[in-house]
Amino acid sequence: MSDFIEIGSINDIPLRGARVVRTHHGDIAVFRTATGNVYALDEYLPGKAGPLSNGIQHDEKVTDPMYNWVFDLTTGEALGADEGKVETYEVKCVAGRIHIAAKAVIPSVAAE
Amino acid sequence: MTQKLIIIGAGMAAGRALEHLFEVAPNAYDVTLFNAEPRGTYNRIMLSPVLSGDKVFDEIVTHTAEWYEENGVTPRFGEKIVNIDRSAQTVTSENGEVLNYDKLIIATGSNPFIIPLPGHDLNGVIAYRDLEDTNTMIALGDKPGAKAVVIGGGLLGLEAAAGLALRGVDVTVVHIMGHLMERQLDEAAGYLLRKALVDKGITVKCSANSKEILGENGKVKALLLDDGTELPCDLLVMAVGIRPSVALAAEAGLATGRGIHVDDQMVTSDENILSLGECVEHNGDIFGLVAPIFDQAKVIAKTLAGEEAAFSNKEVATKLKVTGCDLFSAGDFADADGREDIVFRDPARGVYKRLVIEDNRIVGAVMYGDTADGNWFFGLIKDREDISEMRDTLIFGPAYQGGSPLDPMAAVAALPDDTEICGCNGISKAQIIAAINDGAHTLDAVKSISKAGSSCGSCVGLVGDLLSFTLGDEFKMPEKEVVCKCTDLSHDDVRKLIIAKELKSIPQAMQELDWKTTCGCHICRPALNYYMVAAWPGTYEDDGKSRFINERVHANIQKDGTYSVVPRMLGGITTPNELRAIADAADKFDVPTVKVTGGQRIDLLGVKKDDLPAIWYDLGKAGMMSGQAYAKGLRTVKTCVGSDHCRFGTQDSTGLGIQIEDAMWGAWSPHKFKLAVSGCPRNCAEATCKDLGIICVDSGYQILVGGAAGLDLRETDLLVQVATEEEAIEVSCAFYQLYREGAQYLHRPYKWIAKVGLDWVKERVVDDLENRKALAERFHYSQKFYQIDPWAERAKQGVDAHEFAPIADFTKVAAE
């Protein structure tokens, strides 16, 4: 099996927009920033923040809609005074298609 | 013995490879050069100056017929190779001739990508790739009144557009992304570039999707966009990208991916076939820039000469230029962990500079308007020079080490003298400066002499800036509350400058108002978006991405990530049919909680985001629309039953409430706006704690404003008593509009009134009848554009469908 799985076209996510990938172990938010970069992070930091795909993006950051925590999309780290980190996943864009690390979405791959 | 070398393609890569080959191995090969284009090598990058008329084709030819002859190259120009037989080591030309080779170089370059829109094969639809395309565009300029559409707002598309415009053609650029050249420029520089192109007479449409190319008698007539806009044109240039040309190599069975696979020696999967240029793929990379391709040319020549050489793709910074636009982009300017920005803006000169710093080194630079220092920064990027010593003054360039800091008053200084600063008293910038020069050296003195800032006070920040700007250090500005860390301006300053400078988009406002960050934050973006919505109804395109999630998906997010849905019920009146539809929807979508709200509406709580459009569709079928319980805008008009049923009722409070809600629904405002109409002073609708409340009395209607029943508890004040329903509605709309135009984002009316004073509001809404009427008219005009049911748009027309459905769902995929 390939290390990456295609999840859709880059045009499925508008600039400064985000979409969710549902998996058996929770939702992953896939962001596309104003400069066209694509990032994948856990949708929730349980009990603290999320759903992050619903936040407002600015530069390579997103502001959580619930408590206004700001997360760095490149690292998943909460910025400023808040402490916390959401998991980030490898994602890449090839010929206009978005591919996510297979182990992020398929449990059997993660287990192997 | 000389070997036979055949080269397919005489582009810049092949031309450079031959030069190197003759240097390192002058007589080793007998070269035959095929080219599908009926000419030899020319500098394709210079087609833009040919198009714009700065150069003629002969000036950009790099290899002449004499050069080929002197070097013993047999040119076969205008002839295509249609087949490669690897076992026989032969190629076949299109007229059937078969030629032997010992070594073969494939240099087929790339093909322009043509979007397969309906009508793409019409006459008059061209790419921008070769001399033929360029000549077609030049010929169009000779036709008076000619129109062209360019699809693609990247470098190539803009070069085509700029050249066509210089040839006198009426050009429209259609770009699918939100700003031009999004891969090389950030939003701010993209905005300035757009402005420059518009100044050249080019029409620019961003975020525009092409739907179909319309034709007549087999010739292009217009481009149809998916919003229904038709752009008439005599020529349509598609400049949306290029693809490596691999077909010939793939048919011959060579290993290909996106491009033809080559190793470090530029050899393909067949040891006798080499390849270079835009058609190759090396370690996963493909190439579009000339620098790495010229490196490949050196390597391929040495490989052919039997020397050791290896190609490696160095991450080089690239610079670019659009005809007539002062623009520079180099390196990597995406935000990333550990990177910082140095941003310099000079709104008056239209200058934007941004340096991206990582580990005390510049990794990227974007510049617009003043690119004189571009090469210096380019050098610093390439050499990875440590800039920590000169960091403070770095952005000013090499000539300006140790310069003075930027003038923070740039935005105000740049205003024209006749700009109205104080709208209440009609005082211009020139009048305020005259007052200051006459000795008014404090805010209070300016207020009393010029009257500026003496009424609502919202221009005090700007008056202060004018004092600083005129007096320098002599004037100490009282601390002002800025919007956020992205700017030195207050909300009032920003609102006034948006109007004064006619700023019509968020990137434009950020540039012209000297924003300190590249694209703002979650505090200033929603505020700017609202100010644009309020200032430019009908022309401003709402930016959903700058809105809080509730306003973006038109429902209220709950703590578990589900949403609540509140249909509108004008005046709190519903019907058995509506109630049945709500009950059916609650059953169908497993709504866990159904609640009656404080504003007399019904709330369906716990709806899954994916289900929102479907539940709206069902509610819409029963005639219901969004209750906008999520909006910084009109919420509900609560009513009592009034004279229809109640023995105490003095007027038809329910009917009036319905009329007001019918006039006001859909409007956006600085914060939520709640109303109530009570039929008598017993006040069952609790009108005295609303943003606007009406209490009916025998002699008419008392209009009360500025109540609050939230974190702050505040009773309303009487604005005016009027005699008729019509007047009550007009006063309500006029008050709402005055608040919409003046208050700072996230201030409820009571906070705004505390700042401007109730008397100031009364002067405008009660005393000055003409002004009341004008305010109400502006409100109704704006409503033409905002009274659209957002649920219907999403449930029936598929607006923003990407907001609701996941992009992929692996929970439905069976585990492997």
Structure tokens that stand for B791 in this block: 């649920």
3-state secondary structure of B811: coil
Look at residue A48 and tell me whether its pLDDT is greater than 90: no
Structure tokens that stand for B641 in this block: 């039953």
pLDDT tens-digit map of B139-165: 998 888 999 999 999 888 998 999 999
Look at residue B83 and tell me whether its pLDDT is greater than 90: yes
Q: What is the pLDDT of residue A91?
A: 94
Q: Where are the beta strands (DSSP E) in B347-452?
A: 351-358, 361-368, 420-422, 427-428
Tell me the sheet residues that pair with B595.
B603
Starting at the edge strand that comes first in sequence, how are the strands of the sheet with B235-238 ordered?
B125-127, B235-238, B147-151, B170-174, B203-205
Q: How far is B717 from chain A (nearest CA, A)?
A: 34
By the 8 A CB rule, do A1 and A107 touch? no
Look at residue B406 and tell me whether its pLDDT is greater than 70: no
Q: What ipTM does the predicted assembly reach?
A: 0.93
d(CA B790, CA B553): 9
Structure tokens that stand for B77 in this block: 């120009």
By the 8 A CB rule, do A22 and B806 touch? yes
pLDDT tens-digit map of B409-466: 666 777 778 888 887 878 889 999 999 988 888 888 888 888 888 777 778 888 888 8
Look at the block and give the residue holding tokens 């209070």: B444
- The closest alpha carbon to B658, from B728, B579, B580, B718, belongs to B728
Interchain pair B813, A56: CB under 8 A: no
Contacts of A105 in chain B (CB under 8 A): 808, 810
Return the CATH number of B327-400, one of 3.40.50.720, 3.30.390.30, 3.30.70.360, 1.10.760.10.
3.30.390.30
Q: How far is B337 from chain A (nearest CA, A)?
A: 6
Query: For residues B192-207, b (16+ Cβ closer than 10 Å) or e, as one string?
Result: bbbbbbeeeebbbbbe
d(CA B12, CA B293): 9
pLDDT tens-digit map of B255-305: 999 999 999 999 999 999 999 999 999 998 888 877 789 899 999 999 999
Look at residue A110 and tell me whether its pLDDT is greater than 50: no
Q: What is the pLDDT of residue B410?
A: 67
Q: How far is A38 from chain B (nearest CA, A)?
A: 11
pLDDT tens-digit map of B513-551: 989 888 899 999 999 999 999 999 999 999 999 999 999
Q: Where are the beta strands (DSSP E) in B646-802?
A: 673-678, 692-697, 700-705, 708-709, 713-714, 717-722
**With pLDDT > 70 as the criterion, what percentage of chain B qualifies?**
96
Task: Kindly state the DSSP code that residue B206 receives in the 8-state scheme.
Answer: -
pLDDT class for B320, splitting at 50, 70, 90? low
Q: Which residue has the higher pLDDT, B528 or B352?
A: B528
Q: Burial-class residue B404 by CB neighbours within 10 Å (0-12, 13-18, 19+).
A: exposed
Look at residue B814 and tell me whether its pLDDT is greater than 90: no
3-state secondary structure of B298: helix
Interchain pair B545, A57: CB under 8 A: yes
**With pLDDT > 90 as the criterion, what percentage of chain B qualifies?**
63
pLDDT class for A112, splitting at 50, 70, 90? very low
Q: Which of B178, B333, B816 sits opposite A15 (nearest CB)?
A: B178
Tally of CB atoms within 10 A around B230? 13
Contacts of B242 in chain A (CB under 8 A): none
pLDDT tens-digit map of B233-251: 999 999 988 899 999 999 9
AA identity, residue B612 = L
- The closest alpha carbon to B394, from B369, B370, B362, belongs to B362
pLDDT tens-digit map of B586-620: 999 999 999 999 999 999 999 999 999 999 999 99
Q: Residues 3-62, chain A: which have Cβ within 8 Å of B?
A: 7-8, 12-17, 19-24, 27, 30, 33-37, 44, 50-51, 54-61
AA identity, residue B371 = T
pLDDT class for B656, splitting at 50, 70, 90? very high
d(CA B508, CA B190): 10
Candidates B807, B813, B816, partner chain A, best to mutate (most A CBs within 10 A): B807
Residues of chain B in Cβ contact (below 8 Å) with chain A: 177-178, 182-183, 186-187, 258, 333-337, 517-522, 525-526, 545-549, 552-553, 557, 559, 561, 802-803, 805-813, 815-816
d(CA B730, CA B47): 62
pLDDT class for B321, splitting at 50, 70, 90? low
Please tell me the CATH code under which domain B634-786 is placed.
3.30.413.10
Q: Residues 64-93, chain A: which have Cβ within 8 Å of B?
A: 65-66, 68, 70, 72, 74-75, 77
CATH topology classification for A4-111: Rieske Iron-sulfur Protein (2.102.10)
Contacts of B802 in chain A (CB under 8 A): 12-14, 17, 19
Contacts of A57 in chain B (CB under 8 A): 545
Return the sign of the alpha-carbon dihedral for residues A97, A103, A104, A107.
positive
Element (DSSP H or E) covering residue B576: helix B576-588
What is B410-529's CATH superfamily?
BFD-like [2Fe-2S]-binding domain (1.10.10.1100)
Characterise B306 by phi-psi region: left (phi > 0), alpha (psi -120 to 50), beta (else): left
Q: Which CATH class for the B3-111+244-304 domain?
A: alpha beta
d(CA B545, CA B30): 61
Tell me the sheet residues that pair with B33.
B7, B75
Please, what is the average pLDDT of chain B?
A: 90
Look up the pTM and report it: 0.68
Interchain pair A22, B809: CB under 8 A: yes
Structure tokens that stand for B19 in this block: 């030069």
CATH 3.30.390.30: which residues of chain B?
A: 327-400
Candidates A15, A33, A35, partner chain B, best to mutate (most B CBs within 10 A): A35
Q: What is the pLDDT of residue B760?
A: 93
Q: Among B392-401, B414-423, B494-503, B772-781, which is the least confidently predicted range? A: B392-401
Characterise B78 by phi-psi region: left (phi > 0), alpha (psi -120 to 50), beta (else): left
Query: What are phi and psi for residue B429, nearest 5 degrees?
Result: -55, -45
Interchain pair A106, B336: CB under 8 A: no
pLDDT class for B401, splitting at 50, 70, 90? very low
Q: Where are the beta strands (DSSP E) in B414-492?
A: 420-422, 427-428
Those residues whose C-beta lies under 8 Å from the C-beta of residue B476, and which sit 6 or more positions away, are: none
By the 8 A CB rule, do B91 and B99 touch? yes
Q: Which residue has the higher pLDDT, B318 or B703?
A: B703
CATH 3.30.413.10: which residues of chain B?
A: 634-786
Residue range B357-385: mean pLDDT, rounded: 83
pLDDT tens-digit map of B11-42: 999 999 999 999 999 889 999 999 999 999 99
Q: What is the pLDDT of residue B22?
A: 93
Q: How far is B395 from chain A (nearest CA, A)?
A: 20
pLDDT class for B816, splitting at 50, 70, 90? very low
Strand-strand pairing, A26-32 and A38-42? antiparallel
Candidates B333, B810, B811, partner chain A, best to mutate (most A CBs within 10 A): B810
By the 8 A CB rule, do B484 and B446 touch? no
Contacts of B806 in chain A (CB under 8 A): 19-22, 27
pLDDT tens-digit map of B763-806: 999 999 999 999 999 999 999 999 999 999 999 888 899 999 99
Please tell me the CATH code under which domain B125-240 is placed.
3.50.50.60
Look at residue B118 and tell me whether its pLDDT is greater than 70: yes
Cα separations in angstroms, B180 against A101, B154, B177, B775: 31, 6, 7, 37
Q: How far is B181 from chain A (nearest CA, A)?
A: 10
Those residues whose C-beta lies under 8 Å from the C-beta of residue B683, and which sit 6 or more positions away, are: B695
Q: How far is A77 from chain B (nearest CA, A)?
A: 10
Neighbouring C-alpha atoms within 13 Å toward the C-beta of B226: 13
B373 CA to centre of own chain: 27
Look at residue B1 and tell me whether its pLDDT is greater than 70: no
Q: What is the pLDDT of residue B89?
A: 95
